[in-house]
Protein backbone atom coordinates (compact mmCIF):
# COMPACT_ATOMS: atom_id res chain seq x y z
CA UNK A 1 0.00 0.00 0.00
CA UNK A 2 1.35 3.44 -0.92
CA UNK A 3 0.85 6.46 1.31
CA UNK A 4 1.28 9.99 0.02
CA UNK A 5 2.42 12.30 2.79
CA UNK A 6 2.84 16.06 3.03
CA UNK A 7 5.35 16.86 5.78
CA UNK A 8 5.38 19.97 7.95
CA UNK A 9 8.74 20.05 9.78
CA UNK A 10 9.48 22.27 12.80
CA UNK A 11 5.83 22.31 13.87
CA UNK A 12 4.79 23.19 17.41
CA UNK A 13 3.40 19.69 18.02
CA UNK A 14 3.47 16.30 16.37
CA UNK A 15 0.27 15.30 14.55
CA UNK A 16 -1.05 13.10 11.76
CA UNK A 17 -4.11 14.15 9.75
CA UNK A 18 -5.77 11.72 7.38
CA UNK A 19 -7.01 13.47 4.22
CA UNK A 20 -8.33 10.36 2.49
CA UNK A 21 -7.47 6.67 2.26
CA UNK A 22 -3.90 7.22 1.00
CA UNK A 23 -3.13 10.90 1.68
CA UNK A 24 -1.88 12.24 5.01
CA UNK A 25 -0.46 15.46 6.44
CA UNK A 26 2.18 14.83 9.12
CA UNK A 27 3.54 17.58 11.35
CA UNK A 28 6.77 16.89 13.23
CA UNK A 29 8.72 19.03 15.68
CA UNK A 30 12.21 18.24 14.38
CA UNK A 31 14.01 20.20 11.63
CA UNK A 32 14.58 18.67 8.19
CA UNK A 33 18.29 18.06 8.73
CA UNK A 34 20.18 14.81 8.30
CA UNK A 35 17.06 12.69 7.83
CA UNK A 36 15.71 13.51 11.29
CA UNK A 37 12.34 14.65 9.93
CA UNK A 38 12.00 11.53 7.76
CA UNK A 39 12.58 9.32 10.80
CA UNK A 40 10.08 11.35 12.84
CA UNK A 41 7.47 11.05 10.09
CA UNK A 42 8.00 7.29 9.94
CA UNK A 43 7.61 7.09 13.73
CA UNK A 44 4.42 9.18 13.64
CA UNK A 45 2.90 7.07 10.87
CA UNK A 46 3.84 3.90 12.69
CA UNK A 47 2.10 5.09 15.83
CA UNK A 48 -0.96 6.43 13.96
CA UNK A 49 -1.46 3.33 11.77
CA UNK A 50 -0.43 0.87 14.49
CA UNK A 51 2.15 -0.92 12.32
CA UNK A 52 5.83 -1.61 13.10
CA UNK A 53 8.33 1.04 11.99
CA UNK A 54 10.22 -1.61 10.05
CA UNK A 55 7.17 -2.10 7.78
CA UNK A 56 7.14 1.56 6.68
CA UNK A 57 9.60 2.36 3.88
CA UNK A 58 10.28 5.77 2.34
CA UNK A 59 10.09 5.14 -1.40
CA UNK A 60 10.41 8.70 -2.76
CA UNK A 61 10.76 12.31 -1.65
CA UNK A 62 13.71 12.00 0.72
CA UNK A 63 14.50 15.72 0.43
CA UNK A 64 11.01 16.98 -0.37
CA UNK A 65 7.95 17.83 1.70
CA UNK A 66 5.90 15.56 -0.55
CA UNK A 67 6.86 11.96 0.27
CA UNK A 68 5.69 8.50 -0.69
CA UNK A 69 5.85 5.68 1.84
CA UNK A 70 5.13 2.02 1.26
CA UNK A 71 3.72 -0.35 3.84
Phi, psi angle pair for 51, to nearest 5°: -125, 155
**pLDDT score recorded for residue 64:** 94
pLDDT tens for 2-28 read 999 999 999 999 999 999 999 999 999
**pLDDT score recorded for residue 51:** 96
Output the pTM of the full model: 0.92
pLDDT tens for 33-69 read 988 999 999 999 999 999 999 999 999 999 999 999 9
Euclidean distance between CA atoms 61 and 35, whole angstroms: 11
Tell me the CATH architecture of domain 2-70. 2-Layer Sandwich (3.30)
The ranges assigned to domains in the chain are 2-70
Exposed/middle/buried for residue 29 (C-beta within 10 Å: 0-12, 13-18, 19+): middle
Amino acid sequence: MKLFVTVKPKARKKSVTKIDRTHYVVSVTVPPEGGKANAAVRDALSEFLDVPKSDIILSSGEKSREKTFEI
